[in-house]
Amino acid sequence: MLGTGAGPGAPSFFCDCPGCLEARENPRCARTRSGALVSTENCQVLIDTPPDLRVQLLREKISRIDSVFLTHWHYDHFGGIGELEYYVKLRRKKPIDLYLPPSARKEFAEAFPDLQEVFCVIPWTFEQRYRFDGISITPLPAIHGIETAGFLVESTVRKLAYFPDTAGLSEEAARCVKGVDWLVCDATFTGENWFPEAHMSVEEAIELGRKVQARHTVLTHLAIHYSKPVTSRVLEEMAARHAGVILAYDGTVFDLGI
């Protein structure tokens, strides 16, 4: 887990809510914008390129990227993509495969005309399995207003579903992730959900985990400012009331048994 925060991050430069104060005092509670890395012995695959990408890669001592998957075309999930330009030009010397939503291909070309030689753009296809060094990554439909995927990451022994931005799951997607070892999912709001058509609250994320019978439900994309400002300490207490529910932090690692 490279980042576990929603759009504002934590702490935010403009905010002195209890969650931001906690994050300033305790670096473990700081949250950069949501993104992840799937790492095998011979392959490093980024899921999303948030604006904090450079800081995340330095923090985790990651020096190689082989492929990138984007969940959707919102700034907090693609805004750091330009950080890969000089890695490609100065070290890798060949384009990186960039798997993105088909509807985002035009937006990418218009927003980043200077990156056309940095990436080999490949629109992903829902339910198509992409294989990388002993694991597979399968885009599944998320509910987020624009074309958005979550990703089912599978090894031969374990399964992880990553849905950082979604308002629940369709029956089809829920069927595909049923019984996963980890459901890493959108828990943007504490209390009232301002955007029920695009995000979930902590309570809704926990209920979704029960519905799909996940062994563990991992709360991510946490916006500690929204609806009701909250600290990670309080979120930990909320999670502890439910068996198998985990609070994600930047740097959290899950072992797929690769």
Class in CATH terms, 18-247:
alpha beta
pLDDT for the residue numbered 12: 95
The Cα–Cα gap between 214 and 157 comes to: 15
Which pLDDT belongs to residue 255? 96
- The whole-angstrom separation of Cα 53 and Cα 33 is 8
The pTM (predicted TM-score) of the whole model is 0.96
Low-confidence ranges of the chain (pLDDT < 70): none
- Using a 10 angstrom Cβ sphere, with 0-12 exposed, 13-18 middle and 19 or more buried, the burial of residue 249 is middle
Report pLDDT for 125: 98
Q: What is the pLDDT of residue 228?
A: 87
Q: Estimate to the nearest angstrom the gap between the alpha carbon of 237 and the chain centroid.
A: 23
Q: Domain locations in the chain?
A: 18-247
DSSP-derived 3-state class of residue 99:
strand
User: Residue 145's pLDDT is what?
Assistant: 95
Going by the DSSP 8-state scheme, the letter that residue 249 receives in this structure is: -
Q: Are 199 and 190 in contact (CB under 8 A)?
A: no
The answer to whether 163 touches 139, Cβ cutoff 8 Å, is no
**Type of residue found at 123:** P
